[in-house]
Amino acid sequence: MGRYLIIRVGRWIASVAIIVFVTYAMMFYGAADPIKRMFMTRNESDKWLDQLTIDALREKYGLDKPFPEQLKNYVSRLLVGDWGNSFAESNRPVWDMVRAKLPISMQLGLAATVLITIVGIPLGVLAALCHNHWPDAAIIGTISFVNGIPQFVTAPMLMLLLVLGLHVLDVPYGWKGLFDQQVILPVVVLSLGAVQGVIRQARVGMLEVMSADYVRTARAKGLPERLVIMRHMLRVVLIPVVTSIGLTMITMVNGAIYVEKIFNIPGFGSLTLNGLNSADYPVIMASVLVGTLIILVSNLLVDLIYPLLDPRITHEGHD
């Protein structure tokens, strides 16, 4: 386990380092000039900023230095927890922006995770219990249908249906906290994209466990069916289901970008999109890093937690 952990973490650090390098290089050589973006698109009258001012601004942000030096400066500050200052938002520290916006997306993601857990597991179990009957077919058919439709299509369709058609919701717009009714649609849209993994995992796990000897024994000793399911089957099934919830994170991060744009939620997704649109290097770097870290950390956690939950799995044989 120790050796496995060291290799995993070592590779992990190498991956993060390479992602930092490649992203920085792509921005440095590719993205539009942040100074021009800042002062020439926002305000038309400033269009002819004189060269002296441009040079001064460039020096101020350290943009006049060659690539290796800029990268070195960036990385050395990153290592002590300084994510740099935003170009577009009047020199605001990026860390402050991330700290203000990430929790909003986290709350949305968390609410969606809770929703897919409490809806997904029962649906998967139900499908397995009705294997080869119509509820199974209906559930599996519906999720393969729903899963494919991207969030930027489900969200408009649900808005049309619930807001314009049935008048049951107000127009969802902005962020008024987790317990406002405006949260309903964004959370539902996020969940719809990710729920199928949980349902499928729960269903397949139940189907495998149904014919196990100890389940038959439990039935034979006269345990009521409800208890057989709750105590003997669900417990085993929950392990892979819990890890599959960890793997829905990638859907959540991608989905957040769409959902936050559609519903105008000032979260991590909109931070990313604005950063890209204004060539705000430090913000783009932070978005890519945070997005990737969320995925990498959840994958790592899944890998590390799995053997704790299921003693049959060890990492001794790996690598």
Partner 1 sequence: MSTAPEVSSARARAVQMAEAMAMEEHSLWHDAARQFIKNRLAVGGLIIIVVFVLAATLGPYLAPYDFLDQEIPNALQAPSREHWLGTDELGRDIFSRLLHGARTAALLGFSSTAVGLLIGVAVGTTAGFAGGRADQFLMWFSDLVQSVPGLLLAMLVNTTLRRPIGRWFDAMYEQTRNPAYLNTLWLDYVLVFGALTVIGWPGQARLIRGLVLSLRETDYALAARAVGAGRLRIMTHHIIPNALGPTVVSTSAGIGGAIVNEAGLSFLGLGVQPPNASWGSMLNRSLALWQSFPHLMIAPAVTIGIIRIAFIFCGDGLNDALNPHQRKL
230 HSE (CA, 13 A, CB side): 5
**C-alpha span between 177 and 122 (Å, rounded):** 28
Torsional sign, CA 252, 254, 255, 257: positive
193 binds partner 1 (CB under 8 A): no
Count, residues in the chain: 319
Angle at 279 between CA 276 and CA 285, to 5 degrees: 70
Q: For partner 1, which stretch binds (CB under 8 A), given 82-90, 146-154, 188-196, 234-242?
A: 146-154
The residue within the footprint of partner 1, chosen from 1, 13, 114, 157 (CB under 8 A), is 157
Cα dihedral 21→27→28→30 (10° resolution): 130
Compare residues 144 and 217 and give the one whose CB is closer to partner 1: 144
- Quote the least distance from Cβ 11 to partner 1, whole Å: 7
Compare residues 169 and 223 and give the one whose CB is closer to partner 1: 169
Name residues contacting partner 1, limited to 5-44 (CB under 8 A).
11, 15, 18-19, 23, 26-27, 29-32
Compare residues 89 and 223 and give the one whose CB is closer to partner 1: 89
Residue 93, beta-bridge partner list: 85
Size of the site for partner 1 (CB under 8 A): 48
- Quote the least distance from Cβ 158 to partner 1, whole Å: 10
- Quote the least distance from Cβ 165 to partner 1, whole Å: 9
Q: For partner 1, which stretch binds (CB under 8 A), given 50-58, 64-72, 223-231, 255-263?
A: 255-263
The residue within the footprint of partner 1, chosen from 207, 234, 239, 305 (CB under 8 A), is 207
- Quote the least distance from Cβ 97 to partner 1, whole Å: 17
Compare residues 39 and 152 and give the one whose CB is closer to partner 1: 152
- Quote the least distance from Cβ 33 to partner 1, whole Å: 9
Which SS3 state, helix, strand or coil, does residue 113 take? helix
Residue 85, beta-bridge partner list: 93
Compare residues 223 and 276 and give the one whose CB is closer to partner 1: 276
Cβ density class 205-241: b for 16+ within 10 Å, e for less: bbbebbeeeebeebeeeebeeeebbeebbbebbbbbb
- Quote the least distance from Cβ 144 to partner 1, whole Å: 6
**C-alpha span between 201 and 120 (Å, rounded):** 9
137 binds partner 1 (CB under 8 A): no
Token pair for 2: 């120790």
Which ranges constitute the DSSP H helices of the chain?
2-30, 34-40, 51-60, 67-79, 94-129, 134-148, 151-159, 184-210, 213-220, 225-227, 234-246, 249-262, 268-277, 281-309
- Quote the least distance from Cβ 116 to partner 1, whole Å: 18
Q: Which residues are CB-neighbours of 55 under 8 A, at least 6 positions away?
A: 64
Name residues contacting partner 1, limited to 268-287 (CB under 8 A).
272-273, 276-277, 279, 284, 287
Q: For partner 1, which stretch binds (CB under 8 A), given 76-84, 91-99, 110-118, 158-166?
A: 158-166
**Binding-site ranges for partner 1 (CB under 8 A):** 11, 15, 18-19, 23, 26-27, 29-32, 144-145, 148-150, 152-153, 156-157, 159-160, 163-164, 171, 203-204, 207, 250, 253-254, 257-258, 261-262, 272-273, 276-277, 279, 284, 287-288, 291-292, 295-296, 299
